[in-house]
Amino acid sequence: MARIGIVGGTGYTGSELLRLLAGHPRAQVSVITSRAEAGQRVADALPMLRGRVDLVFEDPERAALAECDLVFFATPNGTAMQHAPALLDAGVRVVDLAADFRIKNLSVWERWYGMPHAAPALVDEAVYGLPEINREAIRAARLVANPGCYPTAVTLGLLPLLECALIDATRIIADGKSGVSGAGRKANAGLLMAEVGESFKAYSVAGHRHEPEMEETLRMATREQVRLIFVPHLVPMVRGIEATLYAELRDADIDLYQVFAQRYVNEPFVDVVPADLAVETRSVRGSNLCRIAVMEPQRKGVVVVQSVIDNLVKGAAGQAVQNMNLMLGFAETDGLDGVALSP
């Protein structure tokens, strides 16, 4: 069994990692850290893991992370870049679920994240962890930057169109909706269900830090000079990302469904559905699946893509486990073949 460490085990992504790894056939969590909960049994803090995880939260400064085969950082932005170099020097592979290594342009990263980068030498080495575009590079990687939740849904929704040069890459609109867990587990009155319930709002309309991540990733994957407008929204649900994507078609005589179906035919975690089927966040809740529908409404020259994921699974912990599987030579689907929850 591979020895796995998790830095930051009490947040939503950290606890989701524990849930997924508790049933993994070839990997076992041996170290989990939390400054706030150090000394507490994991199963006491996260009762759903009773009988499945027999660990105690450790202080990250004292934990034997260097003895692990791979360490996940489920921590706020700015943490992994402080500690990843020492782990890599010790021969440990690292998956960062935050944004420390996602953007190659350091000046862009520092502007959006408001801090100097502590490990600039590792930024070029880090592999962007979207298996649907970087699978072979991930297999060989020491350091993987796990994508953001919005960028995962948006990138997978736009990739076939850009790879085939079917749309104007400079005029793309990405309309995103997220459940409240996307903001992380923290005390914030604006994220209370009493504040979010029976309401719907856009936020960061002037600019969101995931926008440069999307543009850079799509540009590197397709060599298209991508420009998009991204507007995220907060909706009164716990889990889920829905991205509705709009772009002008260059070729009106194209079978869009077949373009997407052929692009993702061998992808275990992308499901392209006929346009007449509903694409709902609840259809992927708890799963590592991205479900996509595409159409050209009323033949007006505009393509509309609907892309849904669970922000905590394919948008975070599930994708991180998918990357771990590739990095450690496991079957890519190990620990991730659960069916979505319903209702």
Task: Check which CATH number belongs to the domain holding 154 and give it.
Answer: 3.30.360.10
- Residues 155, 272 share a domain: yes
- Residues 234, 101 share a domain: no
When pLDDT is averaged across residues 172-198 and rounded to a whole number, the result is 78
Judge whether 47 lies within some domain.
yes
Judge whether 242 lies within some domain.
yes
The enclosing domain of 43 has a CATH number of: 3.40.50.720
Which range marks the domain in which residue 46 is found? 2-125
Judge whether 219 lies within some domain.
yes
- Residues 84, 187 share a domain: no
- Residues 181, 121 share a domain: no
Check residue 184 and give its pLDDT.
64
The contacts of residue 149 (CB under 8 Å, 6+ apart) are 178, 182, 241, 309, 311, 315, 316
- Residues 86, 155 share a domain: no
What's this model's pTM, rounded to 2 decimal places? 0.95
Nearest-5° Cα angle at 62, 61 to 66:
90
Active-site residue among 68, 149, 164, 290? 149
Tokens of 337: 């073949």
- Residues 192, 262 share a domain: yes
- Residues 88, 171 share a domain: no
Q: How confident is residue 183, by pLDDT bands cut at 50, 70 and 90?
A: low
- Residues 116, 9 share a domain: yes
- Residues 154, 291 share a domain: yes
CB 160 within 8 A of CB 249: no
Judge whether 234 lies within some domain.
yes
Helices (H), the chain: 12-21, 42-45, 80-89, 106-113, 120-123, 131-139, 149-163, 193-196, 210-222, 256-263, 318-327
Number of domains in the chain: 2
**Cis omega (within 30 of 0) on the bond before 268?**
no
Cα end-to-end span (Å), the chain: 34
Judge whether 66 lies within some domain.
yes
Q: What is the pLDDT of residues 239-293, one digit of tens each?
A: 999 999 999 999 878 999 999 999 999 999 999 999 989 899 999 999 999 999 9
Say whether 149 is catalytic. Answer: yes
- Residues 98, 185 share a domain: no
